[in-house]
Structure 1
C-alpha cells in the first residue's frame, strides 16, 4: 500500500525537517570552507611549491698572512630541500664579499676565478675549501685567532641565512 505524498509530508514535523537540514548543512559548509582554503593557498602559489632548506655550518675565515689584507672564508652549505638553490651574494660585518673558485691549470699553475653565484643542488652539500669555492673578503684590522665574524649568505630561492665564522690561522686543521 502506498501512502500519498501529502500524508507523508504531514507526518514529518517541522522539527524533523529542521534537524535533517542542519545535519546535511554541516558537511556542506565544512567542504566549502576547505575548498575555499585550498583555492586561496593554490592561488597564493603554495600548492606544489618546492621546499628549499638551507643550513650553513662550520664557518671559518683565515687570518691574513704577512702584509696582505685579502683573505678567504669557508662554510659547509647543506640543501636538505627538494629544489636546487644558488648562493648569489655574501656580506660580512656590513661589507660586500665575493665568491671565487680556485683550481689548477693544465700547466700546473694555481689560478682563481670570480663567480657570480654557486649552485647548491637539492639533497647535496657545498663544502667550501682553499682548493675549490670560497668567499673572498678584506680582513678588518685587529682580527685575532678565535674572533667570530658575522656573515650573511643570500640564496636565490631561500633568501638570507646568517652564519658565524671563527678566525683561524691559514693551514689550521678543521675543528
Structure 2
C-alpha cells in the first residue's frame, strides 16, 4: 500500500499549528505574569508601605455660645506613606468641617480647609491656633460628655474615636 499523499491544505495546516504553538508560550507567560502582578498590587504589597494612622487625644470645647465650637485630635502616621484626612463627621454633631486659623493684620479668623495631609512618619496636633474641626450649631455639651466622631482618611478609611468635652481653654 502506498501512503496517501498530503492534501493541498496540509502545508497551511502545518504552518498554522506551528505558528499557534509558537505564539501560545509567550501568551501564557504574559497572562501568568499579569495575573501575578495584579494579585501582588491588590494585596497592597507593591510600592511604598501604606500609611498607619492612629488618632488620639480627642477633645471638643464645651460651646461658649450656641453658634460654634471646635474639636481637636492628635493624628499620628507611623507608616512610610502620607495619608489625607478628607472629612470629619459625627451622629451627635450637626455640621462639621476642617478649618485653619488664619491671621491677617493682627486679626484671626477661621477658614474652611478641604483636606489635611498627614505626612509619613509624623504627627499632626490640632490646636485652636493651627487646624481643627469646626462645629457649627453644636448640641448642648457639658464638660465630661463624650461624643463619637468619625474621621475619614483617603487611604486608611474611617477611624472612629471618642472625644471628651473639655472647658474652652488654650
Q: By the TM > 0.5 criterion, same fold?
A: yes
Which residue is equivalent to 2:144? 146
Query: Which of 107, 112, 115 does residue 114 from structure 1 map onto?
Result: 112
Distance 1:104 1:40, change over 3 A: closer
Which residue is equivalent to 2:7? none
C-alpha deviation, 1:159, in angstroms? 0.5
Runs of 5+ unmatched residues, structure 1: 1-34
Which residue is equivalent to 1:57? 56
C-alpha deviation, 1:55, in angstroms? 0.3
C-alpha deviation, 1:41, in angstroms? 3.3
Distance 1:74 1:42, change over 3 A: same
Distance 2:87 2:55 in 1: 14
Distance 1:164 1:57 in 2: 9
Query: Which of 83, 86, 97 does residue 84 from structure 2 map onto?
Result: 86
C-alpha deviation, 1:38, in angstroms? 6.0
TM-score by length of 1: 0.70
Distance 2:165 2:67 in 1: 13
Aligned pairs, number: 135
Matched residue SS, 2:139: coil
Distance 1:40 1:156, change over 3 A: closer
Cα deviation digits, residues 66-102 of structure 1 (max 9, x gap): x433100000000001100110000012644100000
TM-score by length of 2: 0.72
